[in-house]
Chain A
């Protein structure tokens, strides 16, 4: 009998106690963040949308190689020394490679951060922007350009011309050397444009 009464009392008491607890929570500040209106600060190293700084990138393709899902495509062409349009990188060094193509498919990206780590010139970076959902995948395919296609073609042509000229000069020099009987070690072939590596 007494244990029965104790049980009943315990049941009642615990219910009341539970209600007291919930009533305390009723007046606590809500933890909800009303998202589009308020946002909380992401940690500084949060990895979200990738942004490329074209003035830094030198088309070294380190990022494209590092990327595990192959979402980056880079092509570049060496700056011809005779190019009338010379540029300086953001870090003050002269530009040695024109980026003719830089495409990033953020629909594929898994935000692993490897490209950022691989980039030697801090050109590709994760930003804090995570609100870039889109209705179609095409709008997540980002194409970066500093040159118009015509300009790129022009740069390719310029470099080819320069190389031709150089080759001609070399041939001439070799001929000269041959006539002078002094062999000359062939210079290292100009690296292919998209494997350009400077620093």
Chain B
């Protein structure tokens, strides 16, 4: 098997290469977060027929940098009644959870920081760090709003993890692999081979298209809830809970929450890309395919999904808590189970 981590090979498999492999996604996250913050500002402005930031640099492209600098300058407050250790630990736990998931994301044919066999499962597992971090921050703040936000957030994450997992599981049934690199590779050869369109296979796969399409949508919706984005942002609903679990945070610790949210957005976008949109494969068969182009396609597709998340955020209002639970348990879960069973059935019949 050819290598899936060119940096590892390049630097000679020593401690330094470990450091390089670890820090590359970190640099990527930082740059990506700046781009995503700008995209959020700009897309929201365009949707509302505004211009968005225009004064910092040409067309305001330096705005996110200005915001980060502003956050860095702010006073770092720890409330007196807060539980100090947990309060200061929570942002790091959340960011660790978001960042750890980057370890298995296959950016290209030649680069996945760690190509492990249970990659998809791993992403779901480290996602629970964010949930714990949120509870930690919410409880340690010693603030009713924070605590309520944390409780809501966790119940939401737990509920929506199930339909998301079922959707992913359906693809795992089709690929019989949880290795994200492998799943990407199976979808090589053009966009009609992507799992959102039933995956590779003969003409009989058209029976599967409705189910995989539905699952892709379900996963996308559930991922919105898991990243606490609108319309599922009840944990931080401004109109009810001030700012939810991060009400008491300021300065750099708040920036950590901020970065973690955007990093999480990319992680779920990467999962959607990998399992439904063909990962790093080119949409035109062997045209524009290769390791470098792979990274290009992967980031392009992921950013498109991130854009979708932003688009939805500025379109839909927030759900009520009971509506949220209704959608999670009574809509997404049964439909995803039906699709899952149908896909298992098809794959038993070897239709796919």
Are A and B in contact, CB atoms below 8 Å, in the complex?
yes
B-binding residues in A (CB < 8 A): 8, 11-12, 15, 18-19, 21-23, 25-32, 34
Residues of chain A within 8 A of B314, CB atoms compared: 22
Q: Is the CB of A25 within 8 A of B316?
A: no
Bound-state Cα–Cα, A32 to B327, Å: 37
Mostly helix, strand, loop or mixed at chain B's interface? helix
Contact between A34 and B54, CB atoms less than 8 A apart: yes
B315 with A19: CB separation less than 8 A: yes
State the CA gap A22–B312 with chains docked (Å). 9
Given contacts A8-B331, A34-B54, contact A18 B315 (CB under 8 A): yes
Could you tell me the distance in whole angstroms from the C-beta of B75 to the nearest C-beta in chain A? 28
Size bracket, chain B contacts: 10 to 19
- B335 CB within 8 Å of chain A: yes
| B217 closest partner in A (C-beta) | A12
Q: Residue B173 at the A interface, CB < 8 A? A: no
A15 near B315 (CB under 8 angstroms)?
A: yes
Complex formed: what's the CA distance from A81 to B50 in Å?
A: 64
Instruction: Tell whether B311 is near chain A: CB-to-CB under 8 Å.
Output: yes
Residue contact B43 to A31, C-beta cutoff 8 Å: no
Q: Which residues of the partner chain A approach B316 to less than 8 Å between Cβ atoms?
A: 15, 18
B46 and A30 contact, CB distance less than 8 A: yes
A30 touches B43 (CB 8 A): no
Q: Quick check: A19 and B311 within 8 Å, CB to CB?
A: yes
Residues of B at the A interface (CB closer than 8 Å) are 43, 45-51, 54, 217, 311-312, 314-316, 327, 331, 335
Q: Does B49 lie within 8 Å of A22, measured CB to CB? A: no
Query: Smallest distance from the beta carbon of A55 to chain B beta carbons, Å?
Result: 42
Contact of A29 among B49, B311, B327, B335 (CB under 8 A): B49
A26 to B311, CA, bound (A): 10
Contacts of B331 in A (CB 8 A): 8, 11
Whether the Cβ atoms of A30 and B315 lie closer than 8 Å is no
Q: How far is the CB of B229 from chain A (nearest CB, A)?
A: 14
11 A–B contact pairs at CB < 8 A? A8-B331, A15-B315, A15-B316, A18-B315, A19-B315, A22-B47, A22-B315, A25-B49, A30-B46, A30-B49, A32-B51
Chain A residues within 8 Å of B311, by CB: 19, 22-23
Task: State the CA gap A187–B217 with chains docked (Å).
Answer: 100
Q: Which residues of B contact A25 (CB under 8 A)?
A: 46-49
Cβ contact within 8 Å between A30 and B51: yes
Q: Which of B49, B315, B327 contacts A31 (CB 8 A)?
A: B49
Cα–Cα, bound, A32→B44 (Å): 13
- Cα(A28)–Cα(B49), bound, Å: 7
Separation of A29 and B51 alpha carbons in the complex (Å): 9
**Complex: A12 Cα to B50 Cα, angstroms:** 27
Q: Shortest beta-carbon distance, A183 to chain B, in Å?
A: 82
Nearest-Cβ distance from residue B26 to partner chain A, whole angstroms: 32
| Known interface pairs A8-B331, A23-B311, A25-B49; 9 further A-B residue pairs with C-beta atoms within 8 A, sorted by A's residue number | A11-B327, A15-B315, A19-B311, A19-B315, A21-B315, A22-B47, A26-B46, A30-B49, A30-B50
Residues of A within 8 A of B45 (CB): 30
7 tightest CB-CB pairs across the interface, nearest first? A32-B51, A22-B315, A26-B46, A18-B315, A22-B47, A30-B51, A19-B315
Question: Considering the chains assembled together, what is the distance between the CA atoms of A134 and B217 in angstroms?
Answer: 56
State whether B50 touches A32 (Cβ < 8 A). Answer: yes
Task: Name the B residues within 8 Å of A29 (CB-CB).
Answer: 49
**Is B50 within 8 A of A26, CB to CB?**
no
Chain A proximity of B192: nearest CB distance (Å)? 23
CB-CB under 8 A from A28, the residues of chain B are 49
CA of A84 to CA of B49, assembled, Å: 65
- Complex CA distance for A25 and B48, rounded to whole angstroms: 7
Residues of A within 8 A of B217 (CB): 12
